[in-house]
Amino acid sequence: MRINGMEWFQVGRWFYLLIHTEEGITGLGEGGIHGYPEAIGGVLQAWQPYLLGKDPLQIEHHWQFLYRNAHFRGAVIMSALSAIDLALWDIAGKHFGVPAWQLLGGKCRDRIRLYMHVGGETADDLAASAAAAVRDGFTAVRFTPFPHNYPELRYAELLEQMLTRVAAVRETVGNGVDLCVEIHRRMDPHHASGLALELAKYRPYFLEDPLVPDSIQRMGDLQRSIQVPIATGERLHTIWEFNELLAAGGCRFIRPDVCMVGGLTHAKKIAAIAEAYHVGVIPHNPLSPVSTAACVQLDACIPNFALQEYTGEDVPPKSTILKQPLVREGGYLLVPDRPGIGVELDMDVVRAYPPVAKVIATPLHEDGSVADW
């Protein structure tokens, strides 16, 4: 089997790659760095001459060849590599007539437990949104407890408001639902520690990204100082970065993004490193249903899967772009038996969604200085 064509395109803010073969099998992949599609396309353009004519089943070899081809690294290159890797696993599955999870070691589970995004400005709104998700069958909900004017609040005010929101959700959904509290890197280590100590009584399942991820050592210091599990890693790219995070004791859950860490090939290795630390895997998944499908392939075949991020596939374009969407039963996605990564784009629908350009809107603190988000 030989690769005889590649095409890439943007749908809304999502970036897709199709890899074609002489045998007529086409693989689908998604690249994770939304907002900079021309950059991913530039990498793919440069790599295309290497891939054309190659055997698509030599996935690990192509991964290593492309990763080692230059001394440059980072999100753009890893997004391009992820899209290629996912497309090659899709081709391999279709070639052998089995799901990617079968080729990656077989199923560890039949359904994938989800955590659903909920939201609301006030504590009541947030609690109502969480209650609606629970009525829909979800057993874990994720929310950010920040009010919209959080940059204007003093620490004690902010802490009080955040605790009020978390308390409202816990009171509403009870102890039968896991709470995933997203901090969006908005705190420094000492204030995040103060938050986590007070938050512990509401028993959150995890505290997501309390700090900017730039210092693995500080994340480790924070995790050792608190009991609430930290979940982090959505901005990391490789086994080496995740290994350093884990060795520093920086979290209890890792958040690899299969569209950012070099696809299923590298994500499976990252999960294995985490397994050695008794750390669970909660794949990051803010992108399209193709990313969700790729996550499900990983989730199905790793023993230390914990939860899957899910933003809802019920609203267009997410609800419309796949020929056969994944099947959700309550708070779970069923592991599909279809070959490859198990989904196909409906190209007629996809063409109806033009590219959406990234808006450069970095948040600012009240004094005009740059914040993160």
Amino acid letter for position 125: D
Residues 154, 128: contact at Cβ < 8 Å?
no
Is 92 in a helix, a strand, or coil? helix
The closest of 142, 185, 208 to 373, measured between CA atoms, is 185
Measure the CA–CA gap between 150 and 114, rounded to whole angstroms.
Answer: 28
Four-point Cα dihedral 19, 23, 25, 31, nearest 10: -10
Residues 298, 264: contact at Cβ < 8 Å?
yes
| Beta strand segments in the chain, E | 3-11, 14-21, 26-31, 111-117, 140-143, 178-182, 206-208, 230-232, 253-254, 280-281, 308-310, 328-329, 332-334
Q: What residues contact 131, with CB distance under 8 A and at least 6 apart?
A: 172, 173
Q: What residues contact 22, with CB distance under 8 A and at least 6 apart?
A: 1, 2, 4
Catalogue the active-site residues: 184, 284
Centre a 10 Å sphere on the Cβ of residue 39 and count the other Cβ atoms it contains.
17
